[in-house]
Chain A
Amino acid sequence: MGKSLRKFLDGLYLAGGVVAALCLIAIVCLIVLQIASRNIGFAFRGGPDYAGYAMAAASFLGFAYALNHGAHIRVSLLVAALGRYRFWGEVWCYGVGTAITSIFAWFACKFTYESYKFNDISSGLDATPLWIPQLSMSTGSIILALCFWDNLVTLLMTGSPNVRETSVAEQGED
């Protein structure tokens, strides 16, 4: 039971990352289309808006995947200095993280539902009903909150979170 749940959750975070990656590819394609439409002269409306939606999706769906790989930046100086009390420092961090991401997920869903209910339309040339691209925000924020709950519970039960803390050097980006 525990093992298959673990597999499912890690798979879910990875799936978010893969969809985010597809969105990056989509951004490149949209930009190329945009340039082509300008130079060859066929109509392609709302390219920048669609690229923006793909950008948002790439971010929100990638959040949990990045967290699970220890890619999100934090100031770990103090936590590392806690020594044998580190566990409690981590509980605080994951606790606060869980609270914030849960609030975020709640409001993201509420807001997306309201755009659907009041039928908000993008003010750009694309005229997309906004709830469709905003689904990426609500989905991504739920996965992120889930990832935090998962890590908090894992931390409390096993003494260490599920996040694989890669060394800073391996993250390699700044």
Chain B
Amino acid sequence: MEQLVAIAVFLGILFLFLGSGVWVGLSLMGVAYIGIEFIAGRAAGGGMINTIWGASSSWTLTALPLFVWMGEILFRTRLSEDMFKGLSPWMARLPGGLVHTNIVGCTVFAAVSGSSAATLTTVGRMSIPELRRRQYPEHMVIGTLAGAATLGLMIPPSLTLIVYGVSINESIRELFIAGVIPGLVLAGMFMAYVAIYSLVSPSYKPVEEPAMGFAEKFRNSAYLIPVVLLIFLVIGSMYYGITSATEAAAFGVLGALALAFLQGSLTVSSFSESLMGAVRTSAMITLILAGAAFLSLAMGYTGLPRALADLIATMELTRFELLMALLVFYIILGCFLDGISAVVLTMAIVEPMIREAGIDVIWFGIFVTVVIEMAQITPPIGFNLFVMQGLTNHQMNYIAKAALPMFAIMVLMVFVLIAFPELATWLPDTIRQ
């Protein structure tokens, strides 16, 4: 009973801090301090600094700022134009036409960037005006872009997967490799939707693209060579076991700098802007991680994770029921918290639960990532909705509605993942041998 009261007070303060607008990382740190010092009645200071220092000075974590930096460098290059030029000739003949450049563009950029907002802005900057000019239905342009940009979280490098891997102490490299196939499958499902919609809808009448010979198409593809090389450098080196995620990130930064230099877009100001942008974003994420590490310690004192895992065990849920409960839980949480906060905040509780249920943690990382992707396009806090609003000046509701089919496809993807877990486990299994 006493323990229940303690847990209720603990969670009450946590939601009070988070809900009232205290910075996420500091909320976690504050409630953890209160929990240990006042609820458990022990000195919190030593544990606080020990865990925060340990969580912050980690070799694995260094992959995070480097991948952020890499994205910031590429964001300031001509990559978005080049990708549109290189991809559009091949997409023009598909049913659904150039809307596919949104999806394929996001997939390609996701493979060199770890964030969905960066993916959205980079691809959208070029594709939105071009597609509008050719009179594609606006809601398709907006919806597919908002949805496909979330692939940035799934396809490696992925900040969400780094954060997940760091929180539960699993190999980032394996998580990255696990994300490849589900990411491609999801992209394929988005494309199938576009194709079907374009065939069914009577109002889908874009301007025809001028025919282009094969040789010219091929010449245009040359624009894609740098980014493809970069993808092979980063993902390929990890897949073939040449590097760890951190080392691949360092290669990625150097490769992105080389690409920017060759394009002539590497100036002193673009270099320092990208670097300072990386400092801000990575500081934002590491503050949350520091707070979450301390919160896990405090959670241990309250006995909450253990109690919840036991409770779930007594309910004798099947694995499927447990996953459905977690799906609903994360969708609701994702409406109010950004993806990274949602992952780190819950891992202390969810990790024992899934390990108990015998769920593969690498697979679960991909599962959580799909759900977090959905959260990116659900109001009121969907991050991609904000970014899209800034990019297009559409109302939030309009964007959310346009992206709704993408949301449905991601829900479908969750069930595909549950039905075919090999999608996420096969590739990492091959590199383990």
Contact = CB atoms under 8 A, between A and B. Distances in A.
B48 interface: yes
B29 A100 contact: yes
A75 B69 contact: no
B275 A75 contact: no
Interface residues of A, number: 64
A100 B30 contact: yes
Given A21-B275, A167-B390, A168-B386, A52 B57 contact: yes
Cβ-closest 4 pairs across A and B: A169-B390, A62-B283, A56-B57, A59-B286
A99 B30 contact: yes
Interface stretch (A4-12, A64-72, A153-161): A64-72
5 contacts: A59-B286, A62-B282, A107-B45, A168-B387, A173-B277
A60 B376 CA distance: 28
A75 B336 contact: yes
A168 B338 CA distance: 12
Interface centre among A28, A69, A103, by most chain B C-beta atoms within 10 angstroms, is A28
A169 B290 CA distance: 25
B331 interface: no
B131 interface: no
B17 interface: yes
Interface of B: 17-26, 29-30, 33, 45-46, 48-50, 52-53, 56-59, 61-62, 65-66, 68-69, 71, 75, 115-118, 121, 159, 243, 246-247, 249-250, 253-254, 272, 275-284, 286-288, 290, 336-341, 376, 380-381, 383, 386-387, 389-391
Contacts, number: 212
A55 B56 contact: yes
Interface in A145-174: 167-174
B288 A21 contact: no
A93 interface: yes
A18 to B, nearest CB: 8
A97 B246 contact: no
A134 B21 CA distance: 30
B30 A20 contact: no
B19 A78 contact: yes
A93 B23 CA distance: 8
Interface centre among A66, A110, A133, A170, by most chain B C-beta atoms within 10 angstroms, is A66
Given A59-B56, A65-B283, A174 B115 contact: yes
Contact of A169 (B26, B52, B58, B387): B387
A34 B50 CA distance: 27
B22 A74 contact: yes
A89 B284 contact: no
A88 to B, nearest CB: 11
A142 interface: no
A137 B53 contact: yes
A69 B59 contact: no
Given A31-B246, A73-B23, A173-B117, A63 B48 contact: no
A111 B49 contact: yes
A31 B387 contact: no
A35 interface: yes
A75 to B, nearest CB: 6
Contacts of B56: 55-56, 59-60, 137
Given A59-B287, A107-B49, A174-B383, A79 B21 contact: yes
A173 B24 contact: no
Contacts of A18: 276
Interface centre among B26, B53, B58, B247, by most chain A C-beta atoms within 10 angstroms, is B26
A106 B280 CA distance: 24
